[in-house]
Amino acid sequence: MSKKIFNRITLVTGLFAIVIFVYIRTGNVDKPEAIAKIEKTLPAVIDYNIHVKPILSDKCFLCHGPDKKNGQKAGLDLSNSEGAYAVLKNGRRAIVPGRLGKSELYARIITTDEELMMPKKESHRVLTDYQKAVLIKWIEQGAVYKPHWAFIPPEKHPLPEVKNTSWVKNGIDNFVLHKLEEDGLAPSPEADKETLLRRVFLDLTGLPPTVEETDAFLADKSADAYEKVVDRLISSPRYGEKKALDWLDLARYADTHGYTVDRYRPMWPWRDWVIKAFNENMPYDQFVTWQLAGDLLPNATREQKLATAFNRNHPQNMEGGIINEEFRSEYVVDRTNTLGTAFLGLTISCARCHDHKFDPVSQKDFYSLYSFFNNVDEAGQISFDQRQIPGPSMLLTDTRQDSVISYLKNQEKEKAAELVTIEQQEKNSFEQWRNALGNNSPFDLNKGLQAHYSFDKLVNNAFVNEVSARDKGQVADPVIVPGISGNAFKSNGDDILKLGKVGIFNRFQPFSIGVWVNIPAGTNKGVIFHKGDGDITYSFHGYYLNLQEGKAEFLMSHTWPYNNILKVTEDTLPKGKWIQLTLTYSGNSKADGIKLFVDGKEAKLVTEKDNLYKDILFGRGDEPGLQVGADWRGTGFKDGLVDELYIYDRILTPSEVQMLVQRSSKQPVQPGAIPAADLEQYYFSNISAAWKQKEKEWRALMQERNKEMEKIPEIMVMEEMKKPRATHILLRGAYDAPGREVQPDVPNAILPWPAGLRKDRMGLAKWLMDPQNPLTARVAVNRYWQLYFGTGLQKNADNFGNQGGFPTHPELLDWLAVTFRESGWDVKALQKLIVLSATYRQASYAKPELLAKDPDNSLLARGPAFRMSAEMIRDAALTASGLLYEKTGGESVKPYQPEGLWRVNSEVYVQDTGANLYRRSMYTFWRRTNPPPSMSTFDAPLRSSCVVQRQKTSTPLQSLILLNDPQFTEASRALAANAMKKYENDADQIRYCYRALTGRKPSPKETAILERLYTDELEKFKAEPSAMKGWLTSGASVTATKTPQLLAACTVMASTIMNSDAFVTRR
């Protein structure tokens, strides 16, 4: 064909398409033949939520959805009737209800002109003819919009009538059977007793029944035999463990902080609380409220505060060089996203950088929710020292520690009262001492003097301590300049002047430090002196005198920013001149014990933090001493001058501070000019033998309490800051791009904030549990349904929004949600309701015609069947073998793991011994960067973010784990040994192993195959004894046997069953 003819055909085709397009736009409609044919197959009534919204959401909302600021094109919003019916810039309307010819949407979806077609081909969202037909019929029927189904409060629909009433066991079955009968289907028969027992055992406890438990159930012919088993399982401690395990994924629980360093964090006490809450059947509303806001309950108990560790389960970073605010913001984002996924079932994270593309959640909504979690005094960069728990934190004392701490505090109060008594008893002695002074100064500035550095000269390139020659001041390339008296040290801001083992005080030791400084003009930030290297670990462990925004700040810290004291001067310090600073500390571990004097006058200080309850010393042999002018990572005192530095192991009186300032003056201080309070303080602290002895006893008690406190473990929890932190919309989601300020609030599309409800996390929890909240109960019951059926009634458990699809049984979902709420949020009652239903009890095997019609079991015409979770597979093997150690709660354990995996970031995995090798998998130590490899292989998540639905894969590696992992080969051997102890006959041993692992008796065919395998392996091991070594030595346990070939052969047989579908599948 010539190019000329081709161009003519193309031109004619294009003109024809335009003519058709114009014809339609003028109101005339001739539907394409393909569309007309499909119309006969469409539902009689097209429903917006069921039929239309999934199409618009998937194909159109990306460009014509609710995100007006980013991505919405042509000013068209098809997510609501107002936008769809509105007049566009070209004078047309996208949809005119009932009038196809006037609807731009109709013209655009049927045109063949690629320039006019919507969606465009390059979007890869082109509509099918069926989808076009649905939209066309909907417009013809009036294009009625409805609120998104999930944003309408659930109603308790009446139970549907069914024909086969004898099948129904509770309300669940009415809804399921009604739908089956509408589709001309019948439910499957009830599963056999063995299968049903194993199913409910695994679902309620995560463990399979033993052979003995199976036999007992088979022997029980009573009508309520099954219900009795259900009641027993729900009352078992194992029930709480199973439910808690499912919650750990959602709560992103791990035993390490994550990121590159990924060090240990002690969060297991929260895990124990979750197990206890499920076992005690804590109502779901209370369970959620305590975790979101337990600390805000009136007179919150320790248990209620512990529950809030849920909010701190997210990863935290301790890497050097990171930006603190960037990661602090990430932690708040994580808590916000977790709220959205776990409790609202929405992809709220999509609104972090811009308005949600598909759901009515704006960026403002995201940061309004973010604001609820933004009022926590936490750091983005946590301490590198894993002993220093990131705040806010809570002490986890035991009964003994509570008793000891209480006793010591009472003893301290008694000693403090005795000090007051001595002061009253010695008033006359004090007056006599005072009168005897005459014109002499009462003060001895050498008393308690630990160090004095004049900086006048260098000896062997070091500054001399005038008190002790041992503690020299050393710095690289020291610089001396004229000072206030003689010479002074000039800091370069980078090299630290280390003064030796001086200035080492704990939080209950009084001390004073005086120094002359000259602050360069333009310098507003820098460290003047500090004791500690806590800046390296980013805990600021120790004490610091800093220049911050031109003001002096004094920090005493165990862990920044929570466990510390911080005081700041109201006024800025003078610059370009010599000033004298003296810090005094009473040793009471309180902010009121700190005073700062500037040129001898007490400065006004603002207390910003007052929460120091653990020590400021490192408690190690190489305890650092006082350091001047710089620290390892912070801003140094560049070009700052330092002179006449004094360190005392006692608190100086204000008069003594003035003496330090006036020490170069020739005029003595007159006793009459000294305030009586200063003389009294000095007398009792330095002269009175009785008072000093009693103070020594008092401080000894405090030191004892300090030692006890250091032993007490801590856990991260939530605690509101007294002064709320301002929250801003972060443009593009960037921590350093704040937009307008927002207040705590919720998306109005879900449920407007109720009047009178306080806007904090407690209010948020009450909003979640409000009877009018359309999501909370639905999301919860859907997730519970998913645990039993493999898939929720709403298949996407993490997305109840426009992209999440429509429930398979919407009326059932709503009925369950309202029933759950009306029961008082009774979790155990909901589980029992589900497992007692006929729907749950159905056999999981289906005829080919049913599989063809309903391959994913959406209609629930058969029982659920799916592979067990990673934890259930391991626990089932341990249970069947008799190795499982059923201890509830406690620290995480470290069972078998391939060597060297942790060395990627300089850690060593130290495998446990004894019973800890055989504990339930939920207690296995979870390192985010190196999760247990066998768990990961079987699809366990990383636990770096909230996960409510595990992926399901089938890979060769999974079979290799079951064949070669020591945990499974050892379990196979232990099971084989048990079988051989019980039975001498091969067939009986096979039957026992098969029942222990699968819950049922093997078929004759399966028995024959396993007998042949047993015989073949026995002959192999007799001929080649070395081949059985791995089977007999794998794992830490020792199995004594006089017939090793028989044990090895039986072990191979048990391992083979463990690798079968019958073992790993929960039917």
Asked if residues 563 and 393 have their Cβ atoms less than 8 Å apart, the reply is yes
Lowest pLDDT segment from 97-106, 212-221, 362-371, 889-898: 97-106
Instruction: Give the tens place of pLDDT for each residue, 734-784.
Output: 999 999 999 999 999 999 999 999 999 999 999 999 999 999 999 999 999
Q: Specify if 1021 maps to a domain.
A: yes
Of the residues 607, 634, 668, which one is the last residue of a structural domain? Answer: 668
Residues 459 and 594 in one domain: yes
Interior angle at CA 16, CA 15 and CA 18, nearest 5: 65
What domain range is 1019 assigned to?
A: 964-1066
Instruction: Give the tens place of pLDDT for each residue, 922-973.
Output: 999 999 999 999 999 999 999 999 999 999 999 999 999 999 999 999 999 9
Residues 720 and 582 in one domain: no
Three-state helix/strand/coil letters over 167-222: HCCCHHHHHHHHHHHHCCCCCCCECCHHHHHHHHHHHHHCCCCCHHHHHHHHHCCC
Residues 391 and 470 in one domain: no
pLDDT at 719 over 80: yes
Residues 659 and 532 in one domain: yes
Listed as own residue / partner, the contacts of 897-904 with beta carbons closer than 8 Å and 24 or more positions apart are: 897/932, 897/933, 898/933, 901/930, 901/933, 902/927, 902/930, 904/929, 904/930
Strand partners, 582: 514, 597
Residues 361 and 451 in one domain: no
Cα 348 to Cα 725: distance, rounded to the nearest angstrom:
22
- Token pair, residue 934, equals 């066998």
DSSP 1046: H
pLDDT score at 12:
39
Cα 812 to Cα 162: distance, rounded to the nearest angstrom:
14
Q: Kindly state the percentage of the chain with pLDDT values over 70.
A: 96
Distances (CA, A) of 606 to 202, 375, 526, 590, 657: 59, 21, 19, 13, 21
Closest CA to 565 of 588, 591, 527: 591
Question: Residue type for 169, please?
Answer: K
pLDDT score at 535:
59
Is residue 71 very low, low, confident or very high in pLDDT (cuts 50, 70, 90)? low
Asked if residues 646 and 584 have their Cβ atoms less than 8 Å apart, the reply is no
Q: Specify if 891 maps to a domain.
A: no
Closest CA to 948 of 276, 239, 242, 251: 251
Cα 261 to Cα 658: distance, rounded to the nearest angstrom:
49
Cα 148 to Cα 807: distance, rounded to the nearest angstrom:
12
pLDDT at 664 over 60: no
Instruction: Give the tens place of pLDDT for each residue, 846-861.
Output: 889 899 899 999 999 9
3 state SS of 464: strand
Instruction: Give the tens place of pLDDT for each residue, 388-403.
Output: 999 999 999 999 999 9
Cα 578 to Cα 593: distance, rounded to the nearest angstrom:
26
Residues 497 and 628 in one domain: yes
Listed as own residue / partner, the contacts of 761-764 with beta carbons closer than 8 Å and 24 or more positions apart are: 761/292, 761/293, 761/296, 761/372, 761/373, 761/718, 761/720, 762/289, 762/292, 762/293, 762/296, 762/297, 764/292, 764/293, 764/339, 764/369, 764/372
pLDDT at 918 over 90: yes
Distances (CA, A) of 68 to 124, 167, 253, 374, 518: 22, 52, 37, 27, 57
Instruction: Give the tens place of pLDDT for each residue, 520-562.
Output: 999 999 999 999 875 567 889 999 999 999 999 999 999 999 9
Alpha carbon distance, N-terminus to C-terminus of the chain: 64
Closest CA to 510 of 584, 586, 607: 586
pLDDT at 868 over 50: yes
Asked if residues 159 and 174 have their Cβ atoms less than 8 Å apart, the reply is yes
Work out the mean pLDDT of the chain and round it to a whole number. Answer: 93
pLDDT score at 6:
39
Residues 563 and 621 in one domain: yes
Cα 1034 to Cα 1028: distance, rounded to the nearest angstrom:
10
pLDDT at 25 over 70: no
Q: Specify if 540 maps to a domain.
A: yes
Residues 388 and 459 in one domain: no
Q: How many CB atoms lie within 10 A of CB 254?
A: 24
Q: Specify if 17 maps to a domain.
A: yes
pLDDT score at 640:
98
Average of pLDDT values for 574-587? 97
Cα 625 to Cα 500: distance, rounded to the nearest angstrom:
5
Q: Kindly state the percentage of the chain with pLDDT values over 90.
A: 85
Average of pLDDT values for 812-823? 99
Closest CA to 709 of 419, 506, 411, 414: 506
Q: How many CB atoms lie within 10 A of CB 662?
A: 14
Cα 200 to Cα 835: distance, rounded to the nearest angstrom:
7
pLDDT at 446 over 60: yes
pLDDT score at 536:
67
Question: Is residue 449 left, alpha or beta, with left meaning phi > 0 and alpha meaning psi from -120 to 50?
Answer: beta
Cis check for the bond before 561: say yes or no (omega within 30 of 0). yes
Three-state helix/strand/coil letters over 425-449: HCHHHHHHHHHHCCCCCCCCCCCCE
Give the DSSP H/E element, type plus range, for residue 850. Answer: helix 848-853
Q: Specify if 71 maps to a domain.
A: yes
Q: How many residues does the chain have?
A: 1067
Average of pLDDT values for 1046-1053? 98
Closest CA to 533 of 617, 592, 421, 474: 617
Residues 465 and 348 in one domain: no
3 state SS of 579: strand
Interior angle at CA 313, CA 869 and CA 392, nearest 5: 160
Residues 491 and 588 in one domain: yes
pLDDT score at 669:
52
Is residue 384 very low, low, confident or very high in pLDDT (cuts 50, 70, 90)? confident
Q: Specify if 119 maps to a domain.
A: yes
3 state SS of 680: helix
The domain spanning residue 608 has which CATH number?
Answer: 2.60.120.200
Residues 641 and 721 in one domain: no
pLDDT score at 668:
56
Residues 98 and 25 in one domain: yes
Number of domains forming the structure of the chain: 4
DSSP 958-992: HHHHHHH-HHHHHHHHHHHHHHHHH-SSHHHHHHH
Q: Specify if 258 maps to a domain.
A: no
Question: Residue type for 1061, please?
Answer: D
pLDDT score at 787:
98
Average of pLDDT values for 152-163? 96
Q: Specify if 426 maps to a domain.
A: no
Cα 128 to Cα 444: distance, rounded to the nearest angstrom:
96
Is residue 596 very low, low, confident or very high in pLDDT (cuts 50, 70, 90)? very high
pLDDT score at 672:
55
Asked if residues 177 and 962 have their Cβ atoms less than 8 Å apart, the reply is no
pLDDT score at 671:
52
Cα 119 to Cα 57: distance, rounded to the nearest angstrom:
12
Is residue 619 very low, low, confident or very high in pLDDT (cuts 50, 70, 90)? confident
Of the residues 770, 805, 832, which one is the last residue of a structural domain? Answer: 770
Please state the separation of Cα 757 from the chain's center in Å: 26
DSSP 365-378: HHHHHHHHT--B--
Of the residues 102, 131, 146, which one is the last residue of a structural domain? Answer: 146
Listed as own residue / partner, the contacts of 1043-1046 with beta carbons closer than 8 Å and 24 or more positions apart are: 1043/980, 1045/1018, 1045/1021, 1046/980, 1046/1018
Asked if residues 104 and 94 have their Cβ atoms less than 8 Å apart, the reply is yes
- Token pair, residue 639, equals 């070009």
Burial class (CB in 10 A: 0-12, 13-18, 19+), 900: exposed
pLDDT score at 695:
96
> pTM, whole model, 2 decimals?
0.91
